[in-house]
Structure 1
Amino acid sequence: MKLTFWEAAEATNATNDWKRWSDFELTGIEFDSRLITQGNLFVPLKGENDGHSFIKSAMDKGAKTAFWSSTETAPDELPILQVADTLKAMQDLAVYYLKKMTPTVIAVTGSNGKTTTKDMTEAVLAQQFKTYKTQGNYNNDIGLPYTILHMPDETEKLILEMGMDHADEIDFLSRLAKPDIAAITMIGEAHIENLGSRAGIAKAKMEITAGLVAEGLLIVPADEPLLVPLTKELTQTIQTFGLEQADCKATIIEAQKEYTSFKINGSDTLFTIPVPGKYNVGNALIAIIIGQWFDVSEEKIQAGLADFQLTKNRTEWLKSSTGIEILSDVYNANPTAMNLVLDSFSQMPTQGKRVAVLGDMLELGPDSASMHASVNEHLDPAEIAEVVLYGAEMHALYDTLKTKYQERQLHYFKKEEKQALTSTLKSILEPKDMVVLKASNGMGLNEVVTNLLEM
């Protein structure tokens, strides 16, 4: 980290007499005292626990300074930066650090696929530039400034994931990061409970342009009419992607469970991504557009996509000890995303039967029952032999599927019956079968995945 104690004080308008301490280099920044290493700046945040109470632990770990906004007396032996709000101080410091280090900033949001797109984009740009990306799901008002302050000092391209569940959250993140490129993967139904409609979600995702630089680039799906009126007043360059009419259009050449190959308009290059599904091709198109924007050659783009590393729990193929193939996609879910996964899964070749395990999609609001029931259009007994449903909201889909699936093919479990669900899966799954698990993260289906791997 190329940052000193005095710089941090000035960037955050610290109000105490910090100049009584000699200036010194900071080695990093942490808000979790357990992660502190020698020479770090400690940021005590106020949440379920007040981070100020962990100051001694941070000092024992090697913290060399700390922000402070508590009414409790700060330790005399530690250089302290008194601020009104420790979170705002970290955000202000991130703004300062971006201006100092001047990386090109790429921002990615969307109802689904933003993490995969971030991973793909980083892999493409890393072929030519020093890159850094959001780690895990650090994509909110804490995680985004934390990511900025953790980027290596040689970073040329910084890829930031931006998440939200309410209006105005991405607006804040975009104004903080001031991206040079902004991308929206798709508009689904995630968080519709808070935003009212898909139109409300589209408006919230478009907040990513709030801080987009005047000469910047916005990338949007070509098949999303809700975004069209929201882009009309923009002066930045806009490029679309998709499988139909789009600035960057893909034609799928081969789709297998382990990979998907495609070509784009105007090119004979065959691109291959190590993940299934046409929805992932859309994510790859964003990475291709960004690579082209920075004059990365097609050969390098091709190489980056072929070897990109997917963040854990995102469309992950696994295999049990007995040979059962498991498609784990249990980090988040909304109807659009679930339907895309099911459509893709239904066509994947297998020597056994296909089984779908579907858990509740959360935060869908008053129309949750009808949205869950609508998934039945993407389930066919001829393609997916058995369906296992889990959670209160999935009962609506269960009722709908009763007319399509026989009783022995359809299973329903309440949220408190996870153990029974796992036992049923172990009884119906055989070697060479293929199973997909899809649900919101709050349903905890990752535990079921872990149990299946032990079969």
Structure 2
Amino acid sequence: MKLSGKLVEEISEGVRRQNVNLSFSGVHTDSRQPMVDGLFIPIVGERFDGHGFIHTAIEKGATASLWQKNKAVPESLPEGFQLFYVKETIQGLQQLSKRYLNHINPIVVGVTGSNGKTTTKDILDSVLSTSYKTYKTQGNYNNHIGLPLTILGMESDCELLILEMGMSGFGEIEVLSLIGEPHYAVVTNIGESHIEQLGSREGIAQAKMEIVEGLQESGKVFIDGDEPLLKPFYHNNVITCGFTDTCDSKILNVSTSDYGFRFSLKGEETIYELPLLGRHNIKNAAYAIMVGRELGLSEKSIQTGLKQVNLTGMRLERITGLNGSTIINDAYNASPTSMKAAIEAVKELPGYSKKVLILGDMYELGPDEEELHRSVAAVIEEPITHLFTVGEKGQWILDAFNEKNDHRLIVQSFLYKEDLIASTVRLLDSETVVLIKASRGLQLETITKHLM
């Protein structure tokens, strides 16, 4: 991208060493990263202040910086180094991203939901990039700092921008939506993530639907039509998708294959092919199909996009393990809803005589965390053959399973993830598939290197 100094000056309240001819190769908040000809934005957090790293940023190539007006300017700052003064640097970052977004003026698709945001973003990108020059949220840059950085990372020829919007409390999605002003919005589902902060699933639904706050006047919202908690939000601009008869776009004729699924949508003859694990991903793909239809994509383009989808890592990521085994790394994060969905995906996989679950702690579930962990046991049954749990909270899953008195599975609990490696390695051969799933804080994916 190329950002003009003039555009930055428009959101500032004054400058040091004005140079109207400046332009920047990128915008950076991490002073440790190379930023040749870059604009540095010093973020002020609870435990750090990026203003203190201005000299490091200069050493890394920064040629200018936003600067909070109430912060003293170091006397040692190079004479020609330009500062753009703002009241508050995070606010300045957000304002700058909005200016740049309006300048480039792409079609914007916003994506939120408790589970499946990143996967849906990836599918949308794969489908829509067949007809548009697209850019999408990179990694987990989906909060009040990451989303503006995503916007500022797109190239000047971007035609369609896909923004993932995450949150942990009320009001956060609204902020992101007002920055991004999406033409289309997708709400994948309502789960239990962040229920500790939001109080209930009803609260989660309310927080997710804040995505409509910045929606363009003629914009449309695609939501989970199987979720009763979203019914209060049905309006003229809402299109529902799901498996129930009342959905505007009902998913039909689902069949499995060695590589994924085939399905169709109500009112269409097309049979879509999706090379992804997990039945829940059919709905994520359907959102992309519906957005594609709204944007005038042909059936051929949509089919091509679905067939070449490439997901961000640790989302039902299939890895070849020891002795020809298969490892399903879904360890990026977890909630009871997503954990159950991942287990169902493994149950559906053909060709494996040993199906092993490695399930760990889930965080931020609030006062009902034990009950929510225990709820996962309801879907643990044959053809699953082994259940290994990790951590004190993961133990609740195993306890609930044992109460079912199902002695056909081999079960074992481990307090620490390193302790389960030997028990797992012994099972690995060409007929074994292993699912790894837990909350991000447990970093359960670190055991995969021992299984590969």
Asked if these proteins are the same fold (TM beyond 0.5), I'd say yes
Distance 1:33 1:266, change over 3 A: same
TM-superposed deviation, 1:90? 0.8
- 1:278 equivalent in structure 2: 279
Mapped to 2, the partners of 1:168 and 1:37 lie a distance apart of: 32
**In the alignment, is residue 33 of structure 1 matched against residue 31 of structure 2?**
yes
Which residue in 1 is equivalent to 2:66?
67
Alignment map for 1:76-155 (pairs within 5 Å): 76-77=78-79, 78-155=81-158
- On the 8 A contact 2:391/2:417 being kept in 1, the answer is no
Aligned-residue sequence identity (percent) comes to 38
How far apart, CA to CA, are the structure 1 residues paired with 2:352 and 2:15? 70
Q: Deviations over 1:160-209 (max 9, x none)?
A: 00001111110110011111111100000011111111101000000011
User: What residue is the counterpart of 1:401 in the other structure?
Assistant: 401
Aligned letter for 1:376? A
Question: 1:18-417 alignment to 2 at 5 Å?
Answer: 19=18, 21-47=19-45, 48-69=47-68, 71-74=71-74, 75-77=77-79, 78-231=81-234, 234-235=235-236, 237-245=237-245, 246-256=247-257, 258-380=259-381, 382-403=382-403, 404-406=405-407, 409-414=410-415, 417=416
Provide the C-alpha distance between the structure 2 equivalents of 1:127 and 1:428, rounded to a whole number of angstroms: 42
TM-score normalised by length of structure 1: 0.94
Aligned equivalents of 1:149, 1:30: Cα separation in 2? 10
Which residues of structure 1 form unaligned runs of 5+? Answer: none
TM-score by length of 2: 0.95
Q: Check whether the contact 2:317–2:330 (CA below 8 A) recurs between aligned residues.
A: yes
Deviations 1:269-322 (A, max 9, x none): 221122112200000000000000000001100100100110111111111131
Q: How many residues align?
A: 445
Shift of residue 15 of structure 1? 3.0
Q: Distance in 1 between matches of 2:296 and 2:36?
A: 40
SS in 1 for 2:208: helix
Distance 1:385 1:402, change over 3 A: same
Q: Note closer, same or farther for the CA distance 1:351–1:95 as it changes in structure 2 (3 Å cut).
A: closer
Q: Is the 8 A contact 2:322 2:429 kept in 1?
A: no
Alpha-carbon contact 2:7-2:99 (below 8 Å) kept: no
Kept in 2: contact 1:187–1:198 (CA 8 A): yes
Offset at residue 408 of structure 1 (A): 7.7
Q: How far, CA to CA, are the matches of 2:204 and 2:434 in structure 1?
A: 31
Answer whether contact 2:378 2:401 (CA < 8 A) is retained. Answer: no
Q: Match of 2:223, SS?
A: strand
Question: Aligned to 1:127, what secondary structure does the other structure show?
Answer: coil
Distance of 2:435 and 2:352 partners within structure 1: 15
Name 1:452's counterpart in structure 2: 451
Cα distance between partner residues in 2 of 1:155 and 1:178: 16
Aligned Cα root-mean-square deviation (Å): 1.7
Q: Which amino acid aligns with 1:337?
A: S
Is the CA contact (8 Å cut-off) linking 1:44 and 1:86 kept in structure 2? yes
Equivalent-residue separation in structure 1 for 2:348 and 2:82 (angstroms):
61
Quick one: distance in 1 between partners of 2:261 and 2:33?
39
Q: What's the offset of the Cα at 1:350?
A: 2.5
